[in-house]
Chains A and B, each alone.
Chain A
Amino acid sequence: MLLRSATPRTTIARAAGIAISCRVRLARNLRGEKFPDWAGEADRRRVFDQVAPWLAQEAGIDQARIVAVADLDEATRALLRERHLISRDLMERGPGAGLVASGDERVAVMINEEDHLRVQVIEPGMDLRRAWAVADALDTRLESRFEYAFSRKLGYLTACPSNVGTGLRASVMVHLLGLRLTEELDAVLRALERLRLTVRGVGGEGSEAAGHMFQISNQETLGEDESSLIDDLLDLVGAVVHQERNARLRLRRDNPETLVDCVARALAIIQSARIMETEEALDYLSALRLGVEMNLVRRLTVAEVDRLALGIQPGHLQRSQGETLEPPRRDVVRAQVMRDTLARAALRE
Chain B
Amino acid sequence: MKCELCQRQKAEVAIKQTADGEERELFVCAACAQRTAGTMVTSLVELLLGSAIDLQLPERDPLACPGCGLSRPEFRKRARVGCARCYETFARELAPMLRDMHSGDHHAGKTPAREHASRTRAELEAALRAAIRSQRYEDAAVLRDRIRNVQAAGEKPAPGGEHAAS
Residues 20-55 of chain A, each 1 if its beta carbon lies under 8 Å from chain B, else 0: 000000000101111101100000000000000000
A187: B residues at CB distance < 8 A: none
A60: B residues at CB distance < 8 A: 162-165
Rounded to whole angstroms, the CA-CA distance of A156 and B87 in the bound complex is 11
Rounded to whole angstroms, the CA-CA distance of A29 and B79 in the bound complex is 17
A144: B residues at CB distance < 8 A: 113, 158-160
Complex: chain B residue closest to A61, CB-CB: B165
Among A140, A152, A156, A165, residue most surrounded by chain B Cβ atoms (within 10 Å):
A165
B80 A37 Cβ-Cβ under 8 A: yes
Stretch of B7-15, B30-38, B96-104, B142-150 contacting A (4+ beta carbons < 8 Å): B96-104
B104 A102 Cβ-Cβ under 8 A: no
B160 A33 Cβ-Cβ under 8 A: no
Q: Which of A31, A139, A140, A162 contacts B101, CB < 8 Å?
A: A162
Given the interface contacts A35-B82, A61-B166, A161-B98, does A154 sit within 8 Å of B161 by beta carbon? Answer: no
CB of B76 within 8 Å of the partner chain:
no
A128-170 contacts to B (CB < 8 Å): 134, 136-141, 143-145, 147-157, 159-162, 164-166, 168
A141 B84 Cβ-Cβ under 8 A: no
A220 B104 Cβ-Cβ under 8 A: yes
CB of B68 within 8 Å of the partner chain:
yes
A118: B residues at CB distance < 8 A: none
B115 A150 Cβ-Cβ under 8 A: yes
A34: B residues at CB distance < 8 A: 67-68, 82-83
Min CB distance A41 to B, Å, is: 15
A114: B residues at CB distance < 8 A: 80
Rounded to whole angstroms, the CA-CA distance of A139 and B113 in the bound complex is 11
CB of B70 within 8 Å of the partner chain:
yes
Given the interface contacts A34-B83, A38-B70, A159-B80, does A224 sit within 8 Å of B165 by beta carbon? Answer: no
B84 A157 Cβ-Cβ under 8 A: yes
CB of A277 within 8 Å of the partner chain:
no
Residues 97-122 of chain A, each 1 if its beta carbon lies under 8 Å from chain B, else 0: 00000101011000000100000000
- Interface range for A: 35 or more
Q: Which of B97, B111, B164, B166 contacts A161, CB < 8 Å?
A: B97
Given the interface contacts A31-B84, A34-B83, A162-B101, does A137 sit within 8 Å of B165 by beta carbon? Answer: yes
Residue total for B at the interface (Cβ-Cβ under 8 A): 39
Among A29, A33, A155, A196, residue most surrounded by chain B Cβ atoms (within 10 Å):
A155
CB of B114 within 8 Å of the partner chain:
yes
Min CB distance B98 to A, Å, is: 6
Complex: chain B residue closest to A28, CB-CB: B112
A33 B83 Cβ-Cβ under 8 A: yes
CB of B105 within 8 Å of the partner chain:
yes
CB of B77 within 8 Å of the partner chain:
no
Complex: chain A residue closest to B98, CB-CB: A161
CB of A222 within 8 Å of the partner chain:
yes
CB of A226 within 8 Å of the partner chain:
yes
CB of A223 within 8 Å of the partner chain:
yes
CB of A221 within 8 Å of the partner chain:
yes
Min CB distance B92 to A, Å, is: 13
Q: Which of B98, B119, B163 contacts A222, CB < 8 Å?
A: B98
B87 A154 Cβ-Cβ under 8 A: yes
CB of B133 within 8 Å of the partner chain:
no
Q: Which of B84, B110, B161, B163 contacts A149, CB < 8 Å?
A: B84
CB of A304 within 8 Å of the partner chain:
no
B165 A138 Cβ-Cβ under 8 A: yes
CB of A225 within 8 Å of the partner chain:
yes
CB of A16 within 8 Å of the partner chain:
no
A141 B160 Cβ-Cβ under 8 A: yes
Given the interface contacts A29-B84, A38-B83, A166-B110, does A223 sit within 8 Å of B104 by beta carbon? Answer: yes
B165 A59 Cβ-Cβ under 8 A: yes
A225 B108 Cβ-Cβ under 8 A: yes
CB of B55 within 8 Å of the partner chain:
no
Given the interface contacts A34-B68, A38-B83, A161-B81, does A224 sit within 8 Å of B109 by beta carbon? Answer: yes
Min CB distance B14 to A, Å, is: 20
CB of A340 within 8 Å of the partner chain:
no
CB of A71 within 8 Å of the partner chain:
no
A166 B165 Cβ-Cβ under 8 A: no
13 additional A-B residue pairs with CB within 8 Å, beyond A33-B83, A154-B98, A155-B107: A31-B84, A38-B68, A104-B166, A107-B165, A139-B110, A150-B112, A152-B119, A160-B79, A166-B109, A222-B98, A223-B102, A224-B104, A226-B110
Interchain residue pairs with CB less than 8 A apart (11): A37-B78, A38-B68, A38-B70, A143-B112, A145-B160, A147-B112, A154-B107, A155-B107, A164-B87, A165-B107, A165-B108
3 A-B pairs with the lowest CB-CB distances in the bound complex, closest first: A223-B104, A155-B107, A38-B82
